[in-house]
């Protein structure tokens, strides 16, 4: 399936049905009075977060979504039927923005969450609504109210705990396949990954986190170069970034330190908040470095890169060091989740101190 993470759509809720002017005509009832009911409500347009979807491709080819209008009243105390609602299924993580003003209207963050993106118009009033003690035979009615119509931009930001950063061929796809059940395309040429891949990493039966692999970044990505700039938004909701570095590049003239600094600069240019997220250094492909040279090469890299955070030495191909990396990531994510939980108020009457 083609991956689409941005789409523009037009939505229109149904107009309300018109009210009518009608009077009762029954034998032996000369003044039956008004019996014109209200028109039906127009159909609403809903959006639901569907966890089974992971792309906006359906909305790329289906732009117009319109609900049915409400039925008009037909007299005899009958109200018009409401128009049928329509529900649009969207991936979890979709941001719905007003395409004309740029205002963010809704975010679908919870599976099964339902929101109303366009409200149907109310039905018009029939003449029975205008009956009073001094107006026994009203001939007033009102038309139905129009439904909301909007031009919307849909933007998908995948929900993942961990995001993988790195140059093309840094080994991100190999790592996500080594630690999860995801099976992205892997090859020995750049830009193998053309869209984000999500994998669930299980540390224990009830301990897991989600990792996202996005296309590799190159210098100038924040201005639109390469493929990765299109998907940097998918890293904005992660709790932790893993910066993968190829420690054994095919070309001896390539400096891993210069490549790593280029990635950091692109992050800073693109989004300051993304740049300030926790970021760990993962030195990959150490299986291709002679054993007697590993320690010196790692120390030289960290010194020249001027990095003071956590450093992990792994080989995604042979799975060396991957288990320790998974456990460290899970502990970090768990600690963040605990820190984000609101403080629970404890009544001092029931605390241990009060009992003493």
* 66 and 105 in a common domain: yes
* 147 and 30 in a common domain: yes
* 191 and 143 in a common domain: no
Task: Please give the backbone phi and psi of residue 114, each rounded to the nearest 5 degrees, phi first.
Answer: -120, 130
Q: Show the domain range for 241.
A: 162-340
Handedness of CA 270, 272, 277, 280 (dihedral sign): positive
Confidence of residue 346 (pLDDT cuts 50, 70, 90): low
Question: Does residue 345 form part of some domain?
Answer: no
Count: domains in the chain: 2
Instruction: Kindly tell me if the per-residue pLDDT of 325 is higher than 80.
Output: yes
Question: Does residue 352 form part of some domain?
Answer: no
pLDDT digits (tens, 9 = 90+) for 276-312: 888 899 998 888 888 888 889 889 888 898 888 889 9
Percent helix, strand, coil in the chain (nearest 5)?
25, 25, 50
Residue 241 contacts residue 266 (beta carbons within 8 Å): no
d(CA 163, CA 57): 23
- The owner of tokens 């970044």 is 217
* 316 and 167 in a common domain: yes
- As to burial, measured by CB atoms within 10 angstroms (0-12 exposed, 13-18 middle, 19+ buried), residue 176 is buried
Helix (H) or strand (E) holding 283: strand 279-284
Looking at residue 302, which CATH number applies to its domain?
3.40.50.300
Rounded to two decimals, the pTM is 0.64
Question: Does residue 355 form part of some domain?
Answer: no
At residue 326's C-alpha, the angle toward residues 325 and 328, to 5°, is 65
Higher per-residue pLDDT: 152 or 341: 152
* 75 and 101 in a common domain: yes
* 249 and 144 in a common domain: no
d(CA 225, CA 215): 12
pLDDT digits (tens, 9 = 90+) for 20-48: 777 777 666 666 677 777 888 899 999 99
């Amino acid at each position: 399936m083609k991956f689409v993470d941005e789409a523009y759509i037009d939505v229109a809720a149904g107009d309300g049905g018109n009210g009518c002017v009608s009077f009762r005509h029954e034998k032996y009832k000369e003044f039956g009075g008004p019996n014109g009911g209200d028109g039906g409500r127009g159909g609403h347009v809903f959006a639901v977060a569907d966890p089974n979807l992971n792309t906006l491709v359906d909305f790329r080819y289906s732009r117009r979504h319109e609900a049915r209008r409400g039925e008009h009243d037909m007299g005899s105390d009958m109200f018009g039927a409401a128009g049928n609602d329509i529900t649009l299924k969207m991936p979890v993580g979709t941001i719905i923005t007003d395409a004309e003003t740029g205002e963010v209207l809704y975010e679908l963050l919870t599976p099964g969450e339902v929101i109303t993106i366009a409200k149907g118009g109310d039905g018009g009033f029939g003449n029975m609504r205008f009956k009073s003690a001094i107006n026994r035979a009203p001939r007033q009615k009102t038309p139905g109210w129009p439904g909301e119509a909007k031009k919307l931009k849909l933007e998908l930001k995948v929900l993942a705990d961990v995001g993988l950063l790195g140059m093309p061929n840094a080994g991100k796809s190999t790592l996500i396949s080594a630690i999860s059940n995801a099976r992205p395309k892997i090859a020995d040429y750049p830009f193998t990954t053309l869209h984000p891949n999500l994998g669930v990493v299980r540390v224990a039966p009830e301990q897991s986190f989600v990792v996202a692999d996005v296309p590799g970044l190159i210098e100038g990505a924040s201005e639109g170069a390469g493929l990765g700039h299109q998907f940097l938004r998918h890293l904005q909701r992660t709790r932790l970034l893993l910066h993968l570095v190829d420690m054994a590049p095919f070309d001896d003239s390539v400096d891993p330190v210069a490549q790593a600094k280029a990635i950091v600069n692109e992050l800073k240019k693109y989004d300051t908040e993304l740049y300030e997220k926790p970021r760990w250094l993962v030195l990959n492909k150490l299986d291709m470095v002679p054993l007697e040279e590993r320690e010196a090469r790692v120390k030289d890299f960290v010194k020249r890169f001027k990095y003071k955070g956590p450093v992990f030495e792994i080989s995604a191909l042979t799975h060396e060091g991957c288990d320790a990396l998974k456990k460290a990531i899970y502990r970090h994510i768990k600690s963040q989740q605990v820190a984000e939980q609101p403080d629970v108020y404890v009544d001092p009457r029931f605390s241990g101190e009060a009992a003493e």
